[in-house]
Amino acid sequence: MSGAGPAPRPLRDRLLEAVLVLVLLGLLVAARRLFPSLGAGAGTIASVGILLLGGTVVANLLELVGLPHLTGYLLAGVAAGPYLLNLVDHRAVEELTPVNALALSLIALAGGAELRLASLRTGLRSLGWATLWQNVLVMVVLAGVFVAARPLLPFLRGVPTLAVVGVALVWGVMAVTRSPSAVLGILSQTRAKGPLASFTLNFVMTSDVVVVVLLAMALTLARPLVLPGSELSLSAVKELGVEVLGSISVGTTIGLFLAAYLRLVKAGLVVMLIALGLVFTEVFDYLHFDWLLIFMTAGFVVQNLSKQGERFVEAIDSMGEIVYVIFFGVAGAHLDLGVLRTLWPVALLFAGARGITTFVAGHVASRYAGDPPALRRWGWAGLVSQAGLALGIANTISQEFPAFGAGLGALAVAAVAMNEMVGPVLFKVALDRSGETRGEAEEVEPAEGAAVFDP
């Protein structure tokens, strides 16, 4: 924690918060015992409340040791989730999926709106080299580790080497996914400004497009290797073109609509965004568009092709913390601790290899790009986090190659879980150490007369 924020709260307050966490936990557990009709979980509505309240309190407690809020949200989700206290049960986690999609669409909008053309132009050289090295090196090395680790992976026993190479390719693509939500969450908390913050933001937001392209190429190559009788088909490339170009077009249209709305109507943007998120994630899924890319493009258009960018960012920021608590709380509740317990040695191998490769690629890319010292030293740190996108690709692998089934999916969940826990901490440490943290955004008091939920 650093910077120009207000004075830290006294230890007494922090201890009170710790006691409150225990009291709250006790109340919830006691309620479940006292009222048998509550059943196993607390229900979907109360589950959101538990994640919000628990995440908020735990995040504040973790500030004591300098950990980011996101880690608190994740831990609260893990603790309340089906694998520990079961206050948020499997059914609630399932029912919260659309809420999570809404949160992610708002995060994508925020991410797009944070991308500024000027910043992209300034950092183009760094971004280019980093995109090249981070994607190629991480993909190749992790695919290699996957093949080398074959004896440790029971679901690969008896599988021909070529097929393993095919799956390893897609696994490599999964390894190059990053977590825009984690990066945006940390930046929202720390209000960091500087080359490291800009570079990381630009990288993770543009990497979505890169990953979509790489995934289509990897699947095209992997299918004939893994599935006997399949031929090399470029249909995936065609689908990719439709998906990427279509998503960018739709995103541009939505962005222009939002810009016009901001200019003409001005009020109620938050409700409008929530409504659009709820409707369009559904519609775009049906149309097979990449809605993450659509919302990112929409945010980018509002920021860079209109004069409404700042107001747009302010409106989204006003929801920021709530969105992140829900998103990462649900992600925490999703974490399959059983799988993690079983597969942690192999998952650790992959997470470690990915971390080291990201570190090396970061240093090599920085040298080629002639980056400033902060970026040269810490440019890799924000690229370790992984979340929903990686799990989405793991799901795609399971669907494309069902022979590997649950084993591969479980390993992916375990590896991503490690990156999800470690990544945000690394990025926050990097921002703190490089002096880009400006203090806690949440300490800012809203203007007198302004409603707290009303931007």
Partner 1 sequence: MTGLAVLGLLLVGSYLGGFLFGAGGRKARGLASGAGGVVLGFVCGPAVLALLSAETLDLFSPLIQVGVGWLAMNTGLVYGRVLGRPVRVEDALWGIGAALLTLAGVAGAVWLALTSLPLFRAIGLAPAERWALALGLGAALAETTRSVARWARDRCQARGPLFDRIFNLAAADDLVPVVASAVAFALVPLSTSAGTLSVAAGAAAQLGVGFVLGVVGALTLGRDFRVNVFRGTLLGVSLIAIGFAVRLRLSLVAVPFALGLGLVAVSRHRARIRRAVSAERYVVLPILFLAGAMTPAAGIVPWLAAVAVGARLVSKLVAGLGLWAAWPEARPAGPLLGAGLTSSGTLSLAVGLSFALRFPGLVGATVLTAATLAMVLGELLGPPSLRSVLRRAGEVPAATAETPAVGTAEAAS
State yes or no: residue 55 binds partner 1 (CB under 8 A).
yes
Tell me which stretch binds partner 1 (CB under 8 A): 45-53, 120-128, 289-297, 425-433: 45-53
Q: At what angle do helices 405-433 and 195-226 cross, to 10 degrees?
A: 160
The DSSP H or E segment spanning 84 is none
Assess 453 for contact with partner 1 (CB under 8 A). yes
Residue 107 CB, shortest distance to partner 1, in Å, is: 16
Residue 161 has which token pair? 């080497």
Answer for which of 1, 159, 217, 322 binds partner 1 (CB under 8 A) is 322
Binding-site member from 13, 94, 310, 314 for partner 1 (CB under 8 A): 13
DSSP code of 40? S
3-state DSSP of the chain: CCCCCCCCCCHHHHHHHHHHHHHHHHHHHHHHHHCHHHCCCCCHHHHHHHHHHHHHHHHHHHHHHCCCHHHHHHHHHHHHCCCCCCCCCHHHHHHCHHHHHHHHHHHHHHHHHHCCHHHHHHCHHHHHHHHHHHHHHHHHHHHHHHHHCHHHCHHHCCCCHHHHHHHHHHHHHHHCCCCHHHHHHHHHHHCCCCHHHHHHHHHHHHHHHHHHHHHHHHHHHHHHHHCCCCCCCCHHHHHHHHHHHHHHHHHHHHHHHHHHHHHHCCCCHHHHHHHHHHHHHHHHHHCCCCHHHHHHHHHHHHHHCCCCHHHHHHHHHHHHHHHHHHHHHHHHHHCCHHHHHHHHHHHHHHHHHHHHHHHHHHHHHHHHHCCCHHHHHHCCHHHCCCCHHHHHHHHHHHHHCCCCHHHHHHHHHHHHHHHHHHHHHHHHHHHHHCCCCCCCHHHCCCCCCCCCCCC
Nearest to partner 1 of 56, 358 (CB atom): 56
Distance CA 105, CA 113 (A): 12
Task: Answer yes or no whether residue 5 interacts with partner 1 by CB under 8 A.
Answer: no
Considering only residues 47, 71, 135, 357, which one is a binding residue for partner 1 as defined by CB under 8 A?
Answer: 47
Q: Is the CB of 80 or the CB of 347 nearer to partner 1?
A: 80
The only residue of 11, 22, 33, 65 in contact with partner 1, by rule CB under 8 A? 33
Contact status, residue 174 vs residue 350, Cβ threshold 8 Å: no
Stretch that binds partner 1, among 171-179, 320-328, 408-416, 421-429 (CB under 8 A): 320-328
Smallest distance, Å, CB 174 to partner 1? 28
**Is residue 442 involved in binding partner 1 (CB under 8 A)?**
yes
Based on the shown chain and the rule CB under 8 A, indicate whether residue 51 belongs to the binding site for partner 1.
Answer: yes
Which of 66, 160, 402, 446 binds partner 1 (CB under 8 A)? It is: 446
Question: How many residues sit in the footprint of partner 1 (CB under 8 A)?
Answer: 64
Cβ 316 to partner 1 shortest distance, Å: 14
- Of 52, 305, 337, 346, the one binding partner 1 (CB under 8 A) is 52
Closest distance between partner 1 and the C-beta of residue 100, in Å?
A: 11
- Footprint of partner 1 on residues 58-97 (CB under 8 A)? 59-60, 69
Beta carbon nearer to partner 1, 38 or 360: 38
Please choose, from the candidates 185, 204, 184, the residue with its C-alpha nearest in 3D space to the C-alpha of residue 120.
Answer: 204
Interface pattern 278-307 for partner 1 (x via CB under 8 A): xx--xx------------------------
- Give the contact letters, 347-386, x = binds to partner 1 (CB under 8 A), - = no: ----------------------------------------
Q: For partner 1, which is the closer residue by CB, 55 or 123? A: 55
| Pick 120 or 270: Cβ nearer partner 1 | 270
Per DSSP, helices labelled H in 265-308 are 269-286, 291-304
**Separation of alpha carbons 306 and 195, rounded Å:** 25
Q: Which x/- pattern over 244-283 shows residues binding partner 1 (rule: CB under 8 A)?
A: ------------------------x-xxx-xxxxxx--xx
Q: Which is nearer to partner 1, 49 or 405 (CB)?
A: 49
Q: How far is the CB of 301 from partner 1 (least distance, A)?
A: 20
Which of 56, 131, 200, 220 lies at the binding interface for partner 1 (CB under 8 A)? 56
Binder of partner 1 out of 4, 15, 29, 45 (CB under 8 A): 45
Binding site for partner 1 (CB under 8 A): 9, 13, 16-17, 20, 23-24, 27-28, 31, 33-39, 42-57, 59-60, 69, 98, 102, 268, 270-272, 274-279, 282-283, 321-322, 325, 440-446, 451-454
